[in-house]
C-alpha cells in the first residue's frame, strides 16, 4: 500500500506499507493480515509502524474479475527517525473500496486508507 497522507505532526507525508495476507487463516470472507509500514514527512523524518488484523472481501464482480476489500487493522508505532526516534503509540488503520484485479503478484489495487491513533514521546 502506498499513498499520500496529511497527518497532524507530520504534515503532508507519504505512506508506504506491505500487507501480507495469511491465506490459511480464512474465516468466512475474511483473512488475517500482518504488515509493516513507514510514514515519511516532507522533511524526510519517518514513523515506523507494524500492524495486523482483518482483510475482508466486501464484493466480487466475476464479469470484470475485480474484488472490493476492506480492512480493520491495529497498529503499533515502532519508533522512527529524527524527532520520531523514540515515539511509541497505537491506533487503527481502516481501508475501504480496495479494488483489485485477480491473478497478479503483487496485487494491484486502488482505494482509501484512514489512519487514526496517538504518538507519545518516551
Q: How many residues does the chain have?
A: 122
Q: For a pLDDT cut of 90, what percent of the chain falls above it?
A: 28
pLDDT the model gives residue 81: 93
In tens, the pLDDT along 66-120 reads 778 888 899 999 999 988 899 899 999 888 767 666 666 666 677 778 888 887 7
Q: For a pLDDT cut of 70, what percent of the chain falls above it?
A: 89
Dihedral class, residue 96 (left if φ above 0, else alpha if ψ from -120 to 50, else beta) = beta
Give CA separation, 55 vs 30, 31, 76, 79, in Å: 5, 5, 18, 25
pLDDT the model gives residue 99: 67
Asked whether the beta carbons of 55 and 33 are under 8 A apart, the reply is yes
Q: Which residue has the higher pLDDT, 9 or 4?
A: 4
The mean pLDDT of the chain is 84
Range 32-44 average pLDDT: 93
CA distance 34 to 51: 6
pLDDT the model gives residue 53: 94
24: cell is 490459511
pLDDT the model gives residue 64: 72
Res. 60: pLDDT tops 90: no
Asked whether the beta carbons of 65 and 38 are under 8 A apart, the reply is no
Amino acid at each position: 500500500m502506498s499513498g499520500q497522507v496529511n497527518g497532524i505532526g507530520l504534515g503532508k507525508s507519504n505512506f508506504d506499507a506491505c500487507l501480507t495476507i495469511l491465506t490459511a487463516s480464512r474465516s468466512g470472507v475474511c483473512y488475517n493480515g500482518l504488515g509493516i509500514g513507514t510514514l515519511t514527512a516532507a522533511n524526510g523524518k519517518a514513523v515506523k509502524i507494524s500492524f495486523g488484523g482483518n482483510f475482508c472481501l466486501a464484493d466480487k464482480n466475476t464479469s470484470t474479475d475485480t474484488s472490493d476489500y476492506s480492512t480493520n487493522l491495529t497498529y503499533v508505532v515502532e519508533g522512527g527517525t529524527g524527532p520520531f526516534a523514540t515515539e511509541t503509540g497505537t491506533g487503527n488503520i481502516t481501508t475501504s473500496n480496495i479494488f483489485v484485479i485477480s491473478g497478479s503478484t503483487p496485487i494491484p489495487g486502488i482505494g482509501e486508507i484512514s489512519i487514526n491513533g496517538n504518538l507519545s514521546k518516551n
